[in-house]
Structure 1
Amino acid sequence: MELGLLVPGRHGNLYDFSEDSIEDIRWIHKLKEMGFLLKEIQKVLSLRRTSNWVEPQEIAEYLILLDKKKKSLRKDIENIEDEIARIEEEEKSFAIETAGDKVLVGAPLKALEYLRCPFCGEAFAVEQVQMNSRYIYNGKLACSCGYALEIRDGIILSPSAADEADGGADLEREKYKDLPASVVTMLQRSYNFLLHRISGMQLYDRVVMETDINEFFYLYTHFRKIENRVLFIITDRYPQVLRMYKERIEYLKLDLDILYIADGSGNYPLKKGSVDLLIDYFSSNYRETCRGESMSGRMLEYLKENGEIIGCYFSGKNEERLFDKKQFLEEMKENGYALIKERTIDCPVEVGKGNQLLLYESKTEESTAVQKTGTQKTGR
């Protein structure tokens, strides 16, 4: 009626649909079944109303409209067939990429020089190992003080790793499912910031570490975008979470050296001052909530004197507690870090009104790092 396709009579507030209106409805229905749009139907009905299909010129014009619509529909069919062909090619490419067995990897041999007893600082003796020229798949790492690590399926298990029966492991990646588009956009903005900062670094033969990946795992979708001659150290308290991600990464067939460490204490079996870059993707929020400790304070001893932290910190109120951006930055400064870059983005309403993400890059200050190494081992 708004387009003039139906022009019923009117009596007060009531419309009177005459036989002519019923005939218009039949024509509208017929033309829609032929694929005509409402604006195109408007043109046909105008021809019908002005000629009653007895004027040869109007009939010829109607036939032209039918032929034009037929050609348009055939073009649509061609476009749809092209799109289906592209979909089938895409399906084939993914089938080829994921076909066959995964590339099984273990604990990289090059990582042994970075492993140390967290109590006495001594190197480990390697015992009862299954290995090849690049990886250790199973075995034991023993320290003379009695501390020992197990290597199982290429994952290092410390005595403080969580029990496999613990129900806190997010093996289905539930936190990533059904995210509103606005939240995904927010996360992508944080991804872009971190990747831009990382891309400007010289990471060839360096050590990059990310912890507590059961919460969020930044590197998982960014390995391909980072220099591959890097030793990646990935930690979490849940061995099953590390195993799940390790298997998924193996299917990607990436030529990477990744050391997986299952440890729940944060007192990692790593040589002090060995990490060049630490990824803090909401790990600080997790540490504050679950361990009551400062991420920057705990990790200072593992970073090199010129090591860096690049991170994303949630600032605001969630269901559990309040996270204070100002306090977070003050603690970083107190722990011996200089802020290089900082950006704040507002969270969408789905995350909570007034909440923000702090995106930051910081670097250890050489003058204070050595002084604080001995005082930060237990966090704050």
Structure 2
Amino acid sequence: MGGTAVKIGEFSDLFGLAPETVRYYVNKGLLVPVSKNERYDFDSVDVDDMRLLLKLKSFRFSLSEIHRIMSLRRLSNFDSRKELMDYIDILNHQKKNMLLEKKEIDSIINAIKNEIASATGKHNSVEKRKYGVPLVFLQYLACPKCQGELKISNCNIEKDHILSGDLTCTCGFKADIKNGILIGDSGKISKYDWPDLERNCYRLMNPTLVSYMHKAYHWMLEKLRQKNIKGKVVLEDFINNYCFCQMNFELMDKDALYIITDKYPEIVAVYKGLIDKLSLEHNIIYIASASHMLPLKFGCVDLYIDLDSANEYSLYNNGYSTEALKNYFNKDSSALGLFFSFKPKSSSFAELHKQFPEAWEKSYDISYFRQHLRKTWKQVLDEEAIGKVTDSTQEEIAYSYHIPGEVGVDVYHVEGFSTERMSK
């Protein structure tokens, strides 16, 4: 640059900085160019100052520390031994701080390596045993068409689990057990529906929604602790989006009998694989079938877990999920659930119907759903509004039709199923 002064634009380009950054350093007193008519002229001294500033920044000094060092140089150019020793002391102090920080970072890196190894081992761990249809569930199986007895043949049984086999009824109904999953009739599937094999509803979910869901989990688990479900049959259906049991099985009574179902065999297989890795002692049957065609005895379900299954069903049908499952409940059945909602005439409602043209007009309508609970169940034991999600975005894959400020999360606990009270 020699003795020629340059303007802020050229000076900024020399160091690959934005003019706003250079102006910030000037305002902080780190650079002191000549000012003429509110314009700055930068000379070789300013170039040296900028080089020192950037060097000290690379040493991880704060701007206030850099200002102190540059002031020392401006006062003496480090020609004085005292100022030079002060500078060296500052560098040694920073070196000590960096060594301490390096030690902490190395410790964190090792901890991350251990966590990676642990997580990798969990994912790749060999299952201790093979899980299929527990023999204890045979007493609950029946033809979904005529309720006749299902004949089982060609069975492959390990310990007390059926890994494969054929099920037939005299009326002509057939089902299979493959890889430990009971596969029945999937029924008619909407062209707007699909299996979420990548589990995007979990992985790409809005963080606020995740927090509310976990608050709902705690609420539901607390209600479960207050119930005696030993020997009872617990059903969770429509797990394409979420599966409460998979997330909470280790906190749930191992002496209950659990049914995990969805119409998509591949979705059931995903969750079975995840749950099998837990090596639980729970009795769990996995069924891939349409909800109204589950090969189970009518009235066998004691507790229904509804993790927004009501809305999932209503995206493709006029009604809530209990209407598809009604034959499997009894007068003493109870239900625990979570319900996402927004107002019927909201922007979210309009966007929902663009993406899901078959969606029922009462989908995500909490007011109507509360009426539905009171018509369908004899007693509403408890219900609570968990909160509203205010920061959903169109980039949120899990619920792209959620408009900020419109989405609510509610939970409920009901008992005493009443077929006569079903809404039409």
Task: Please classify the TM superposition score into its range, dividing by the shorter chain length.
Answer: 0.7 to 0.9
1:162-218 Cα offsets, whole Å, 9 max, x none, are 68x998222222333433333333333333333333343333333221111113222
2:85 is aligned to 60
Match of 2:374, SS state, is: helix
The number of equivalent residue pairs is 371
**Inter-partner Cα distance in structure 1 for 2:159 and 2:420:** 37
**Inter-partner Cα distance in structure 1 for 2:391 and 2:59:** 45
Counterpart contact for 2:376–2:421, Cα < 8 Å: no
Q: CA deviation at 1:154?
A: 1.3
Structure 2 residue corresponding to 1:210, chosen from 236, 253, 257:
236
Counterpart contact for 1:277–1:307, Cα < 8 Å: yes
Structure 2 residue corresponding to 1:10, chosen from 35, 43, 52:
35
Counterpart contact for 2:300–2:329, Cα < 8 Å: yes
1:175 is aligned to 201
1:357 is aligned to 409
The 3 A distance-change label for structure 1 pair 349 and 83 is closer
Confirm whether residue 133 of structure 1 aligns to residue 159 of structure 2: yes
**Inter-partner Cα distance in structure 2 for 1:81 and 1:172:** 34
Confirm whether residue 346 of structure 1 aligns to residue 405 of structure 2: no
**Inter-partner Cα distance in structure 2 for 1:240 and 1:285:** 21
Counterpart contact for 1:213–1:235, Cα < 8 Å: yes
1:63-212 → structure 2 map (5 Å cutoff): 63-102=88-127, 103-161=129-187, 168-212=194-238
RMSD value, Cα: 2.6
Q: CA deviation at 1:340?
A: 1.7
**Inter-partner Cα distance in structure 1 for 2:203 and 2:125:** 28
Match of 2:217, SS state, is: helix
Match of 1:44, SS state, is: helix
2:370 is aligned to 329
**Inter-partner Cα distance in structure 2 for 1:65 and 1:59:** 10
Letter in 1 for 2:232: R
Confirm whether residue 319 of structure 1 aligns to residue 352 of structure 2: yes
2:50 is aligned to 25
Task: Give the % identical residues.
Answer: 28
Q: CA deviation at 1:17?
A: 1.9
The 3 A distance-change label for structure 1 pair 34 and 358 is closer
The 3 A distance-change label for structure 1 pair 151 and 166 is farther
**Inter-partner Cα distance in structure 2 for 1:162 and 1:247:** 26
1:34 is aligned to 59
Q: CA deviation at 1:304?
A: 4.2
Counterpart contact for 2:199–2:241, Cα < 8 Å: no
Letter in 1 for 2:408: Q
Q: CA deviation at 1:152?
A: 1.8
**Inter-partner Cα distance in structure 1 for 2:240 and 2:287:** 13
Q: CA deviation at 1:349?
A: 4.0
**Inter-partner Cα distance in structure 2 for 1:176 and 1:247:** 16
Counterpart contact for 1:162–1:239, Cα < 8 Å: no
TM-score (structure 1 length as normaliser) = 0.87
1:222 is aligned to 248
Instruction: Between 271-280 and 293-302, report the one with greater CA deviation.
Output: 293-302
**Inter-partner Cα distance in structure 2 for 1:209 and 1:363:** 14
2:304 is aligned to 278
2:356 is aligned to none
**Inter-partner Cα distance in structure 1 for 2:156 and 2:29:** 81
The 3 A distance-change label for structure 1 pair 48 and 200 is farther
Match of 2:315, SS state, is: helix
**Inter-partner Cα distance in structure 2 for 1:65 and 1:196:** 57
**Inter-partner Cα distance in structure 1 for 2:315 and 2:117:** 45
Match of 2:292, SS state, is: coil
Match of 1:129, SS state, is: strand
Q: CA deviation at 1:293?
A: 2.5
**Inter-partner Cα distance in structure 2 for 1:331 and 1:29:** 67
The 3 A distance-change label for structure 1 pair 109 and 307 is same
**Inter-partner Cα distance in structure 2 for 1:15 and 1:134:** 85
Match of 1:123, SS state, is: coil
Match of 1:291, SS state, is: coil
**Inter-partner Cα distance in structure 2 for 1:145 and 1:301:** 19
Letter in 2 for 1:9: V
Match of 1:205, SS state, is: coil
Q: CA deviation at 1:129?
A: 1.2
Structure 2 residue corresponding to 1:50, chosen from 57, 72, 75:
75
Letter in 2 for 1:291: N
Confirm whether residue 254 of structure 1 aligns to residue 280 of structure 2: yes
Letter in 2 for 1:335: T
The 3 A distance-change label for structure 1 pair 146 and 359 is same
TM-score (structure 2 length as normaliser) = 0.79
Match of 2:413, SS state, is: strand
Letter in 2 for 1:30: K
**Inter-partner Cα distance in structure 1 for 2:316 and 2:327:** 21
Instruction: Between 134-143 and 113-122, report the one with greater CA deviation.
Output: 113-122
Letter in 1 for 2:238: D
